[in-house]
Amino acid sequence: MPEKIISVDYNDEMGQSYIDYALSVITDRALPDVRDGLKPVQRRILYTLSELTKSNTPHRKCARIVGDAMGKYHPHGDSSIYEGLVNMAQNWKMAIPLVDPHGNFGAVDGSGAAAMRYTEARISEYTEDACMKDISYFKDSFVPNFDGTETEPTFLPFQVPNLLISGSTGIAVGMATNIPTHNLGEVVDALSAYMQNPDISLDELLDIMPGPDFATGGIINASREDLLNVYSTGLGKIKVRGKVEIRDIGYGRKSICITEIPTTMIGSTASFLDNVAALVRNRELPAVVDIADRGDKNGECLCIDVKKGTSEEEIENIINILYKKAGLEDTFGVNINCINDGKPEVMGLKRIFELYSAFKKEIYNTKYTKLLAAEEDTKEIKSGLIEAVDCIDLIIEILRGAKNTADARNCLIHGDTSKIKFRFEGSELDARELRFTEKQADAILAMRLQRLIGLEVLALKKELADAEKKIKKYTSLLKDEKKMLAQMISDMQEIKEKHALPRRTKIAKFQEIKIKAPEQVAKDVAVLLDRFFYIKVIDDSVYNKNVEQIKNDYRHSFICSNTDRIGIFTDNGNMYTIKVADIIKQQAKKNVAKGKKDSGGLLGRLSDKGIQIFDFCNMNGDENIPFMGSIEQIATQTLVFANSDGLAKRVEGSNFDVTRKMISFGKENETFCLVAPCLESDFVVCCTKDGYYLRVACNEIPTRGRSAGGVKLIGLTENDELTEAYCGSVKDEFLHKEQLVPFTKIKIAKRGAKGIKMRSFN
């Protein structure tokens, strides 16, 4: 056979292959069908269950169910099939499960189901009533399975909109779906109203079906406008939160009990408790003394116990923190994306009802057409049997005189007596008048002699009357749309009365959560910054006892209040703001992480390493910090600034009392060698690179705005620059080349003077 080489463009081949894969995932795996609300794997599992079990028969091993589904209809991994089976059996995901489980099918806290060899399941009574009882009428719409050895349904004839009742979640390629569950009774009533009046407004439908109803209960925090937007477009976000009760646990103590969790917390209750514990460690919930999961088989009960004497206002604030920071309130993203006629479509509530109503009419027409045909067959057969009873002697004679069944059948249908041997004269003439139909003839030939008993004849006549009555009913339904509509609604109401549950999820619109910041008791503390830019906060008493050591070992140190903010002035003209409380909080976290007991001592020890200052602000690490201090203290002072170009200015400290985390007080490429608080009586000592020194009175330096340029402080020669500057009184000293020099050693001069060149201060 000659070799044949086919040239294929790689880009085209890969593109087409990816498109085929994406469409397969979208239509055959991840998105549910709008008609029955099921993904292919769910439909195949339920059909397999209906073949293996009934709602009143023993449960079957899940391994058998998964094996049959995989071998007959779903040739994919067994884990995905078992996961689909488990999801349809968990009553915290579906209020009315489609599968009746037996064994360990997991828990709402996220613990997984036992292996399929240990668990059992069967079709649920709800699924059987709402769907599987009518499956036999749609066998002709089945399609061959993957290998052509079996046939499988393309839809299941749900009599209620399962898409809304059971909900769905799935991720496809480039799209996803997230459909919330709804209350069966409300959905049935809303659909009934729509079918009776397709022009009904969405607002009127929401009066009947106000919104989602999650199996875990909880609260939907949304307004009518929010829900109208979601159900008109099929897209939107709604806030869901848990239900909370305050319980008295004795000894004057109370407990905040979460009795119903939001649906978004399914599988993450342990994570929620961890979040609460983290908030306690961070001192955001100081009144909490115990956290426990006290749930049982009857429901969730996550408890947060508070200290004795905690006020109602404090408890309310704790609940708000749980909503805002621990995940007790979350956002559920609604995305009603499903398959319609083989294509994905995002649809609102009325569109779902429109498509489902058309589907329901179709399945009812198919069902009653087949029921009518079956009853007409019954009528034909029963009437034939009754007629046969009236001439039973003749029929017996025909049967005795026939050589085979075909001859007798031919005589019953066509009156052909040529091959029949009659015993009595006149019987042949009567036989020639027989004109039974083929079905009647077959039924007569199969009839037992016991049907000749009088009561049996009466039963035949009753069955005939029942068949005629049903024929009349079915014919009327198929011809009269109003009667068919009434039948549809009646059937749905029957399912509702048998299986509907009261609404679990409350819908209400709450105000925005506001968390009251804990009142902090003002206390004097000391802030220390070492030469490696590690910052820490210690008790002021420790500072006072070790002040000399601290002055020698630390770049900056000062006393302020624990409620203050720190201003960090860098040599490149920026000021960064840090809250003292934030440093204290980070110190506490670090201590907890290291297992240290701080017994309420949130302040660090002098021996602690501290925390990198870059963790609190966006400094790049190349700056120097000529000055830092409490902004609250700086606001009452005046600061003096001097840059390397020999320019200086004074700025009122109130200019730096801002809420921003970073502000500028200089111009681009300006380098400051002096930032310090000053008094009118103070002096500024200038030291240049070439060794010129000058002392200028602060009152000669004008006061300007924060970002304004400075005035000449010292007259610099060419290539000279100001390298050091100090501010203080005549009693102060400055450290120059490891030598303490009194301010009085430097001669006073007018601002702008060149200064005096000095080689030594001895």
Question: Model confidence over 65-100: pLDDT tens digits?
Answer: 999 999 999 998 899 999 999 999 999 999 999 999
The pLDDT of residue 105 is 95
- Regarding the domain delimited by 243-327, which CATH topology (the fold level of the hierarchy) does it fall under? Gyrase A; domain 2 (3.30.1360)
The pLDDT of residue 455 is 55
> Is the pLDDT assigned to residue 598 strictly greater than 50?
no
Q: Which residue matches tokens 């400051």?
A: 672
Model confidence pLDDT, tens digit, residues 42-65: 999 999 999 999 999 999 999 999
The angle subtended at Cα 248 by Cα 243 and Cα 251, nearest 5°, is: 150
pTM summary value: 0.75
β-sheet bridge partners, residue 221 = 239, 508
401: nearest Cα among 389, 418, 384, 380:
418
Highest average pLDDT, of 153-167, 290-304, 610-624, comes from 153-167
The pLDDT of residue 200 is 95
The percentage of the chain sitting over the pLDDT mark of 90, rounded to a whole number, equals 56
Determine the Cα–Cα distance for residues 696 and 453; give it in Å rounded to an integer: 136
- Burial class for 582, CB neighbours closer than 10 Å (0-12, 13-18, 19+): middle
Question: Are the C-beta atoms of 244 and 319 separated by less than 8 Å?
Answer: yes
> Is the pLDDT assigned to residue 31 strictly greater than 70?
yes
The pLDDT of residue 46 is 96
CB under 8 A, 24+ apart: contacts of 449-455: 451/385, 451/389, 452/389, 452/392
More confidently predicted of 389 and 751: 751
Kindly give, in sequence order, each residue whose CB lies less than 8 Å from that of residue 400, ignoring residues fewer than 6 positions away: 423
> Is the pLDDT assigned to residue 191 strictly greater than 50?
yes
Mean pLDDT lowest among 143-157, 567-581, 613-627: 613-627
Q: 10 Å Cβ neighbour count for 554?
A: 18
65: nearest Cα among 81, 54, 76, 77:
81
Determine the Cα–Cα distance for residues 122 and 49; give it in Å rounded to an integer: 6
CATH classification of 635-651+669-762 is 3.40.50.280, yes or no? no
Q: Which residue matches tokens 């749900």?
A: 158
> Is the pLDDT assigned to residue 732 strictly greater than 80?
yes
More confidently predicted of 430 and 247: 247
> Is the pLDDT assigned to residue 461 strictly greater than 60?
yes
> Is the pLDDT assigned to residue 599 strictly greater than 50?
no
Sheet holding 722-728, edge to edge: 722-728, 683-688, 692-697, 756-757
Based on C-alpha coordinates, what's the Rg of the chain?
A: 44
- Residues 618-626, mean pLDDT to the nearest whole number: 86
Question: Are the C-beta atoms of 275 and 330 separated by less than 8 Å?
Answer: no
- Residues 644-657, mean pLDDT to the nearest whole number: 93
More confidently predicted of 295 and 697: 697
From-to residues of CATH 2.120.10.90 in the chain = 520-630, 635-651+669-762
The pLDDT of residue 384 is 82
From-to residues of CATH 3.90.199.10 in the chain = 38-157
pLDDT-based confidence at 345, cuts 50/70/90? Answer: very high
> Architecture of 366-497 per CATH?
Orthogonal Bundle (1.10)
Question: Are the C-beta atoms of 413 and 436 separated by less than 8 Å?
Answer: yes
Q: 10 Å Cβ neighbour count for 651?
A: 22
The pLDDT of residue 600 is 43
> Is the pLDDT assigned to residue 411 strictly greater than 70?
yes
C-alpha neighbours within 13 Å on the C-beta side of residue 509: 7
Kindly give, in sequence order, each residue whose CB lies less than 8 Å from that of residue 447, ignoring residues fewer than 6 positions away: 385, 388
- Residues 718-722, mean pLDDT to the nearest whole number: 90
The pLDDT of residue 454 is 56
107: nearest Cα among 297, 326, 327:
297
From-to residues of CATH 1.10.268.10 in the chain = 366-497
From-to residues of CATH 3.30.1360.40 in the chain = 243-327
More confidently predicted of 600 and 758: 758
The pLDDT of residue 25 is 62
Two tokens at 588? Answer: 């506490």
User: What amino acid occupies position 447?
Assistant: M
The pLDDT of residue 460 is 81
Determine the Cα–Cα distance for residues 459 and 614; give it in Å rounded to an integer: 95
Mean pLDDT lowest among 433-437, 482-486, 505-509, 758-762: 758-762
Determine the Cα–Cα distance for residues 571 and 589; give it in Å rounded to an integer: 31
Two tokens at 14? Answer: 């890969």
* Residues taking part in catalysis: 118
Model confidence pLDDT, tens digit, residues 504-549: 999 998 888 887 766 667 889 999 999 889 999 999 999 999 988 9
Determine the Cα–Cα distance for residues 695 and 744; give it in Å rounded to an integer: 9
> Is the pLDDT assigned to residue 601 strictly greater than 60?
no
Highest average pLDDT, of 178-187, 458-467, 572-581, comes from 178-187
- Residues 338-365, mean pLDDT to the nearest whole number: 94
Could you tell me what percentage of the chain is helix, strand and coil, using 3-state DSSP and rounding each to the nearest 5? 40, 25, 35
User: What amino acid occupies position 707?
Assistant: S
Question: Are the C-beta atoms of 375 and 367 separated by less than 8 Å?
Answer: no
Write b or e for each residue in 337-359: b if 16 or more Cβ atoms lie within 10 A of its Cβ, otherwise e.
bbbeeeebbebbbbbbbebbbeb
Question: Are the C-beta atoms of 363 and 139 separated by less than 8 Å?
Answer: no
Which H helix or E strand runs over 473?
Answer: helix 454-479
- Burial class for 618, CB neighbours closer than 10 Å (0-12, 13-18, 19+): exposed
- Regarding the domain delimited by 520-630, which CATH topology (the fold level of the hierarchy) does it fall under? Neuraminidase (2.120.10)
CB under 8 A, 24+ apart: contacts of 443-450: 443/381, 443/384, 443/385, 444/384, 444/385, 444/388, 444/395, 444/412, 445/405, 445/408, 445/409, 445/412, 447/385, 447/388
CATH classification of 38-157 is 3.40.640.10, yes or no? no
Kindly give, in sequence order, each residue whose CB lies less than 8 Å from that of residue 261, ignoring residues fewer than 6 positions away: 108, 216, 217, 218, 242, 269, 272, 300, 302, 328
User: What amino acid occupies position 340?
Assistant: N
pLDDT-based confidence at 593, cuts 50/70/90? Answer: low
Three-state secondary-structure class, residue 414: helix
> Is the pLDDT assigned to residue 256 strictly greater than 60?
yes
